[in-house]
Amino acid sequence: MDRFILLMLASILSGFALLKVPLEGSFLESLQPVTDVIGLLAILVFSLFLIFKGVMALVGK
């Protein structure tokens, strides 16, 4: 189970990395809005999942 939680944390970090990646001046500059949306979704989904797992562990299920 610890490896699964570490995978979720790594996914959150990769979402932050997608938000901070500099694409200005490259041929990928047009993809900047797409990478921002994917990064935000990754952060939100995996953070909410970790919060849910934490609440379920506190409740005892």
Question: What mean pLDDT do residues 20-39 have?
Answer: 91
Residue 24 domain-assigned (yes or no): no
Overall domain count for the chain: 1
| Residue 1 belongs to some domain of the structure | no
Examine residue 38 and state whether it is found in any structural domain, yes or no: yes
| Predicted confidence (pLDDT) per residue in 32-56, tens digit | 999 999 999 999 999 999 999 999 9
Model pTM score:
0.83
In a domain, 43, yes or no: yes
Average pLDDT over residues 23-33: 90
Q: Which residues constitute the domain of residue 56?
A: 8-19+31-61
Is residue 36 situated within a structural domain? Answer: yes
CA distance 15 to 50: 15
* Residue 15 near residue 46, CB atoms below 8 Å: yes
Q: At what angle do helices 2-20 and 32-59 cross, to 10 degrees?
A: 150
Identify whether 3 is part of a domain: no
What is the DSSP code string of 1-61? -HHHHHHHHHHHHHHHHHHH---TTSTTGGGHHHHHHHHHHHHHHHHHHHHHHHHHHHHT-
